[in-house]
Structure 1
């Protein structure tokens, strides 16, 4: 009888639709628990199940979004955060966490918007992080003192925690391209999903052929890293971790990091592993780093008594035992997380997600001055990126470093990079692509820099500009930010655009066509926009054949971008990260396996457009214009030159031909093309004259070199 009543009740609940919320809540509770246990893939699965029963479950959306964020799947996380904006009662941390995600994606203006919204809940933190977005934009636009190259032995998985052992590099990795020779008894170990320790060559010697397992199969525990060696003593510090491939390495409430010390063997392996006596039960202690003699150890812990999540501590080896750890205090530690310390020559390098930085974790440096640590200095653009940068180590007596980063452009989820000081002089190599063997490919990721900017034009977020706004209103959405601090706001309505330079007159402001390079076809590029490129090759003293990359113009235009000591061949550009990733997948499928994504600030003074994308050419061919590549002799119309391309009125001439943008130093030259003969070009020039371009003239484009008609 009771069984029948149960079935009847269940039937009523189902028919009344009352059971779905119950099932949905059960799936949500399960998802939240899995999130706490860092089983993010399972949390996503169960949260989505809950959404099937309760489509308006805000907490379900939040679990999915946060799980993707913890897995470093930025695009997916952003999609789910955007979905949440339809709801009114959002979690208190929604705006802050979304801001953190957007900042890591380099979308600083949008991130600041959400941080300012969070300031209504937590004014000090919201305001501080909104200001950090301005700091990040300034750093990203500044010149870099460093050059960065991918460690040659990097894999498509997470490689992390580089450390020096004699003339070798020891690191941890989730790679599966190395197989152990295990007997049947231990064969199941090869399926372990944890990371293993490897040892390989330094610098250019560190290719995959130099890499071997550090530990024997019966010594490897699949949970060790980082390892740090004292350079002058046979001792090392080891962290036992619970990391997963591709996911974040630090969670404020982590419980599963444990610190050990061990004796070091001549080959870098270790034995006699002992737990650090002051590991705190119920809290994490890890990322240990020893000084040269091995009697001082710095580490990170989220134990009680700190200033934030993870703080840095120091402990001393005295009288045969380690002392109770001391918190390094402010200004080293903050309300956020400080991790991966490295000490050398009176300086400490470490990463923080709270101090003013470019994105997630940034690397900082502090030195001892009169017995106290100086305020931490951000290592700047080149070392740091919008993503997470940590595990930095410095080579003795060299301005050379290794670090781990999950920035765009690597081979795997996390990659190891070699970083060194850039040459002082800006020696640009002129590259001739003709009749030269292909150059070696550098897996370096850079940010295109602006040389000595006078005024930085910052375009506000596109969604701020309404489609119905007039030109005056739109003009107010652009703000000039001078390098020098000024308390006066600039009113664009009171400014007159600078007069276009008349190239026919010989005066101090005349801009010669000699040395001008084409940078855009069918569009106007304004400096300081952040975009995605796919880097195909880096050319140093040798050159490469651009023809090798012509098949890729189906996916974008080909550019040459000059850097400190090389010229990079790049495909692009793309405004959206997901689009860049999709194109990268297609590029690699065609055999360009070393291609990678870079996130850059456009600088037309360093760019040259080599080949126009097929899609762009096709659109102008349909409009009746000639779109042949720049070969031989083509007649074009030089319209005018500006110091700032913002003053060029595209609408006046966009029906007369294809707008091309050429660059020479600080000057931008606008050209019209798409004509089959000189007569046709002369006719259009007269039309341009009537529309206000009184200095317009027909010029020759001879194999990419603009010349006046004789």
Structure 2
């Protein structure tokens, strides 16, 4: 009888080797995916498929997401369609597929998948649905702008536009070839002609822009060209930077009149565990704006500012606050006079990163405005700047370009429905309710830890007709038994706002509010959690008097925003007492005999205001008492149109 033992052994060895190879590829794929190396993850997962392996739901999901992150949208859509029809799939599939469809301008289909995502997060899903509706309306409007793909673009990722001595420098991020549009017209000059001495360190401008920095607009010059700030990123793309966790920092070089560059000096607030990138210098080179994912921000990447105090010394970076920063990502700041332009994947936009504008009003900022279809698309727009003629330049990875990321030019931008602001006054110190801005649609790399704390009350869940009436609360407790003694325990929370009792079917819920938008609620939630109230969360609801009742009015000692009044407070005097990171850092008992205490906001911080006083003499008397009690920096202000102006120095 013929023996099949050797054959069976060979087959088993072959099968075991295949299984071992598949397991090795799976480990390699998962390791790449978890390291955010999506191209390598795609290769590893595809190797498994070619070897005959059948991917489980998790691996298919990871491959679909990796396709999405590497702009292989056709493959991603095919796999997401398959996944979305399978039982037991992660709800994040619906969110990711909706986001992919949104980026392809298929807003109607995107809304279907965002609707499905409501089983995981109704609040986020509803915002994305609203974002699709916004995009349908805005992208459908006629516009008269002229958008040009720059002739300097190549089939490679192109170097971001950089403002330099009134001109705009552009070039390829691969070749390092740079050209510049001079202020006098369309004449193009090469980089060595711009930087007069190419034999010093760094040898030429492109050495910084291409070899030292990422090729995506991380260089910024002072107006006279004497200082440059840039980020060393190892050639990472825009996506590579904002998805990075650490390892990048800003550097500075001085440039002599002859064109020689000094040895780069690192921004002193670098840490291995986070990223500082996208620097933008003020005209005089003494103020730095940049993006960072350092701890303590509102989301993924936030915008920060720092001021130069001496040779290679800078102030501690200050977060630019919740009007600008969100639970998503804000990148590539650029200032032009009093305007700040930046890219965000959270504020209400068309998809991906859109460019937004806000105007500085004293030390506060106006509401955020989307630059519209003359700049933004459903893809990413970033590295926005304006030349002296009012023409704008920016980088985009939109469809129809010559390469992966091209530079575009658009004629002078006029924003719809924007107010003409009067000249700003240096004496202005704040604006009421700095958190009172519309919450915008989030994108992929949001602060998931914060968004996990956002829910929707059953009374409004899945009811689109009530969304326009929805406000936000912070829920701190729920109980089946409730009486006056229990209620008294919650009076201490009036420092954070009004305390509400919400009657549910079998429970009484205790909530703090009311917050008009999600950003305001999340900002206050951060304060509560930092003060030990770990189980609090944000919940959307409507003010239904039949079940939502005020238990305690907010304490005048701790109001996030000055209480509204029907009286005209214009011209009344107040005293700016102090500024703190959080209101609980201030002991109100030291001054509560002198007047009403109000909390205003500035750049994410709390300003302690004392008022109101009928005339300056009365205010001066109280100011003298404050000075005696140790508040040496206090000063008198006058309120007008919800803003404060300093009246004496």
**Fold shared, TM-score > 0.5 on shorter chain:** yes
Distance in 2 of aligned mates of 1:115 and 1:269: 54
Alignment match, 2:294: 303
Distance in 2 of aligned mates of 1:286 and 1:9: 59
What secondary structure sits across from 2:111 in the alignment?
A: helix
Distance in 2 of aligned mates of 1:269 and 1:412: 33
Contact kept? 1:21, 1:53, Cα under 8 Å: no
Alignment match, 1:349: 341
2:383 aligned with 1:391: yes
Cα distance change on mapping 1:349 and 1:211 into 2, 3 Å: same
Contact kept? 1:363, 1:383, Cα under 8 Å: yes
Alignment match, 2:262: 271
Contact kept? 1:252, 1:302, Cα under 8 Å: no
Cα distance change on mapping 1:203 and 1:98 into 2, 3 Å: farther
CA RMSD of aligned residues (A): 3.1
Residue pairs, 1:253-652, within 5 angstroms: 253-266=244-257, 270-320=261-311, 321-396=313-388, 398-421=389-412
Measured after TM superposition, the shift of residue 285 of structure 1 is 0.7
Measured after TM superposition, the shift of residue 19 of structure 1 is 6.8
What secondary structure sits across from 1:128 in the alignment?
A: helix
Contact kept? 1:156, 1:175, Cα under 8 Å: no
How many correspondences in the alignment?
396
Alignment match, 1:174: 173
Contact kept? 2:332, 2:382, Cα under 8 Å: yes
Contact kept? 1:253, 1:309, Cα under 8 Å: no
What secondary structure sits across from 2:251 in the alignment?
A: strand
Measured after TM superposition, the shift of residue 89 of structure 1 is 2.9
Alignment match, 2:68: 69
Distance in 2 of aligned mates of 1:21 and 1:132: 46
2:96 aligned with 1:108: no
Cα distance change on mapping 1:108 and 1:319 into 2, 3 Å: same
Alignment match, 1:200: 180
Distance in 1 of aligned mates of 2:110 and 2:288: 37
Distance in 2 of aligned mates of 1:401 and 1:96: 33
Q: For each residue in 1:172-202, what CA deviation from the matched residue of structure 2 results, as whole angstroms up to 9, or x when unmatched?
A: 53334xxxxxxxxxxxxxxxxxxx4734225
What secondary structure sits across from 1:390 in the alignment?
A: strand
What secondary structure sits across from 2:246 in the alignment?
A: coil
Contact kept? 1:155, 1:175, Cα under 8 Å: no
Residue pairs, 1:121-132, within 5 angstroms: 121-132=120-131
What secondary structure sits across from 1:292 in the alignment?
A: coil
Distance in 2 of aligned mates of 1:256 and 1:172: 25
Q: For each residue in 1:20-56, what CA deviation from the matched residue of structure 2 results, as whole angstroms up to 9, or x when unmatched?
A: 5554343122112223445433221211223344324
Contact kept? 1:161, 1:404, Cα under 8 Å: yes
Contact kept? 2:166, 2:387, Cα under 8 Å: no
Alignment match, 1:48: 46
Alignment match, 1:444: none
Distance in 2 of aligned mates of 1:329 and 1:423: 26
Distance in 1 of aligned mates of 2:55 and 2:184: 54
Measured after TM superposition, the shift of residue 107 of structure 1 is 0.9
Distance in 1 of aligned mates of 2:191 and 2:227: 21
Cα distance change on mapping 1:203 and 1:358 into 2, 3 Å: farther
Distance in 2 of aligned mates of 1:73 and 1:279: 35
Cα distance change on mapping 1:317 and 1:423 into 2, 3 Å: closer
- In the alignment, structure 1 segments of 5+ residues that lack a partner are 1-6, 177-195, 425-484, 486-710
Alignment match, 1:26: 24
Cα distance change on mapping 1:291 and 1:31 into 2, 3 Å: same
Measured after TM superposition, the shift of residue 349 of structure 1 is 0.1
Alignment match, 2:230: 238
Measured after TM superposition, the shift of residue 125 of structure 1 is 1.3
Measured after TM superposition, the shift of residue 423 of structure 1 is 9.9
Alignment match, 1:554: none
Distance in 1 of aligned mates of 2:82 and 2:259: 50
| Greater Rg over alpha carbons, structure | 1
Measured after TM superposition, the shift of residue 363 of structure 1 is 0.3
